[in-house]
Amino acid sequence: MIVDLRSDTVTRPTAAMRAVMANADVGDDVFGEDPTVNRLEATVAERLGKEAALYVPSGTQANQIAIRCLTEPGDEVILEQSAHPFLYEAGGPAVISGVTLRLVPGVDGVMDPAAVRAAVRPPNVHHTVPRLLSVENTANRGGGTVTSVARCQALSDVARAAGMNTHLDGARLWNAHVATGDPLADFAAPFDIVNVCFSKGLGAPVGSVLVGPAALMPKARRVRKMLGGGMRQAGILAAACLYALDHHLARLADDHARALRLWEGLTALGYSARRPDTNMIYITTPDAHALAARLGEHGVRCIALAADQVRLVTHLDVDDAQVEFAVGVFEWVRG
Ligand SMILES: Cc1ncc(COP(=O)(O)O)c(C=O)c1O
């Protein structure tokens, strides 16, 4: 048996998802004429309580468009020290937006409003202008942790008081919503711009949606074009996202339950990991690369994200039997 716990991005479209993709109504989306993309954008804007939306190829591009739309070159973006645009977007904020990043250490990826307030520097000719606060929910490197609606609001209040714009990287906002039961729109309300991904827990092959004020969308659309993200008959892809919204959202609770079962099994074996909020477990171990390699040899695929950290992620293509198998392999390699 192979159990792939590397990421929730490794899922493959189901037969039913492929069928709706094959039958999707399409048009040229750069002309705004793809009915399925238009339906996806309207649906996501409505679910997240925002005026307008834009379908883009990836979460990375969504983050970069958001940053470009809400800053000017020379500005500063405040974000948590393990946030995706800092760690994993190839220096995009510097190249695409000409901004500097100011990092705030959080607890398990979750920022404290007081720490953000302290990071906002007063106006001074020497300083970059703090222009944008970016929050990641759930926080990937934090351990799939949820920033509560109240904390989102408190963080946004600090930013607004400082005259800053606000962005939510909601690549896995779906998981925060299902884990807490709080409405997606409540998580989104404190932020100017929000992006969500369909290619992670929701199991679609491609795509993210950026939502925000209608007045910002022409600029977002232009930046998408500049970055090469204008796609033509993209309805084939958007159809998968619509399908995922209808069929794969509530079932994230299964991923969370499996992550918890995995965590219980691993902690019973003596492994050290924070109890998961959602679908991720980060094991702290002195020999992460060696452990990941040994697990891989026995059919459990996972990633050593640091010398002392192994990440495990549950998703659509992991069932109960695979979770039990994985726990067994962890026991075996522990010796
Ligand atoms: C929190 C977060 N934001 C953004 C992204 C980028 O998404 P993509 O891989 O679609 O570019 C990821 C990818 O895993 C992520 O974890």
Provide the CATH number for the domain around residue 199: 3.40.640.10
Alpha-carbon separation of residue 262 from 11, 53, 202, 211, 324 (angstroms): 19, 37, 20, 34, 8
Alpha-carbon separation of residue 9 from 13, 129, 231, 299, 313 (angstroms): 11, 35, 21, 18, 9
Q: Is 70 left (phi over 0), alpha (psi -120 to 50) or beta?
A: alpha
Predicted local confidence at residue 123, as pLDDT: 92
- Among residues 199, 218, 247, the one where a domain terminates is 247
Looking at ligand 1, which atom is closest to the CA of residue 60?
11
- 179 and 305 part of one domain: no
Continuous segment of H or E residues that includes residue 51: none
Q: Is the CB of 171 under 6 A from ligand 1?
A: yes
The partner residues of 142 in beta bridges, in order of sequence, read none
| Residue 1 located in a structural domain | no
C-beta neighbour count of 225 within 10 angstroms: 11
Q: Is the CB of 76 under 6 A from ligand 1?
A: no
C-beta neighbour count of 285 within 10 angstroms: 18
Q: Is the CB of 311 under 6 A from ligand 1?
A: no
- 24 and 124 part of one domain: yes
The partner residues of 197 in beta bridges, in order of sequence, read 208
| Residue 2 located in a structural domain | no
- In sequence order, the 6+-apart residues with CB closer than 8 A to the CB of 140 are 82, 84, 109, 171, 172, 280
- 255 and 317 part of one domain: yes
In degrees rounded to 5, what are phi and psi of residue 78?
A: -100, 130
| Residue 109 located in a structural domain | yes
Q: Is the CB of 169 under 6 A from ligand 1?
A: yes
Predicted local confidence at residue 145, as pLDDT: 98
- 218 and 328 part of one domain: no
- Å from CA of 139 to ligand 1 middle: 10
Structural domain boundaries enclosing 139: 15-247
- 33 and 95 part of one domain: yes
Q: Is the CB of 84 under 6 A from ligand 1?
A: yes
- 259 and 122 part of one domain: no
- Å from CA of 149 to ligand 1 middle: 21
- Å from CA of 9 to ligand 1 middle: 9
- In sequence order, the 6+-apart residues with CB closer than 8 A to the CB of 333 are 291, 294, 295, 298
Q: Is the Cβ–Cβ distance between 133 and 158 less than 8 Å?
A: yes
258: CATH: 3.90.1150.10
- Among residues 225, 247, 269, the one where a domain terminates is 247
Q: Is the CB of 278 under 6 A from ligand 1?
A: no
- 299 and 317 part of one domain: yes
Q: Is the Cβ–Cβ distance between 333 and 295 less than 8 Å?
A: yes
Nearest CA to ligand 1 atom 16: 140
Predicted local confidence at residue 40, as pLDDT: 99
Alpha-carbon separation of residue 64 from 59, 77, 84, 92, 191 (angstroms): 9, 12, 11, 7, 16
- Among residues 223, 247, 271, the one where a domain terminates is 247
Q: How many residues does the chain have?
A: 335
Predicted local confidence at residue 335, as pLDDT: 73
- 205 and 302 part of one domain: no
- 267 and 155 part of one domain: no
- Å from CA of 280 to ligand 1 middle: 14
Query: What is the count of structural domains for the chain?
Result: 2
- Å from CA of 81 to ligand 1 middle: 15
Are β-strands 100-104 and 75-80 bridged in parallel, bridged antiparallel, or unpaired?
A: parallel
Instruction: Give the CA angle between residues 275, 171, 137 to the nearest 5°.
Output: 50
Alpha-carbon separation of residue 103 from 187, 229, 275 (angstroms): 22, 28, 25
Collapsed DSSP state (helix, strand, coil) of residue 230: coil
- Å from CA of 87 to ligand 1 middle: 11
Are β-strands 129-136 and 303-306 bridged in parallel, bridged antiparallel, or unpaired?
A: unpaired
- 115 and 198 part of one domain: yes
- 221 and 259 part of one domain: no
- Å from CA of 181 to ligand 1 middle: 23
Give pLDDT tens digits along the chain (335 positions): 999 999 999 999 999 999 999 999 999 999 999 999 999 999 999 999 999 999 999 999 999 999 999 999 999 999 999 999 999 999 999 999 999 999 999 999 999 999 999 999 999 999 999 999 999 999 999 999 999 999 999 999 999 999 999 999 999 999 999 999 999 999 999 999 999 999 999 999 999 999 999 999 999 999 999 999 999 999 999 999 999 999 999 999 999 999 999 999 999 999 999 999 999 999 999 999 999 999 999 999 999 999 999 999 999 999 999 999 999 999 999 87
- Å from CA of 168 to ligand 1 middle: 12
| Residue 55 located in a structural domain | yes
Most ligand 1 atoms within 8 A of CB, residue of 55, 67, 80, 140 to mutate: 140
Q: Token digits for 283?
A: 């094991």
- 113 and 258 part of one domain: no
| Residue 326 located in a structural domain | yes
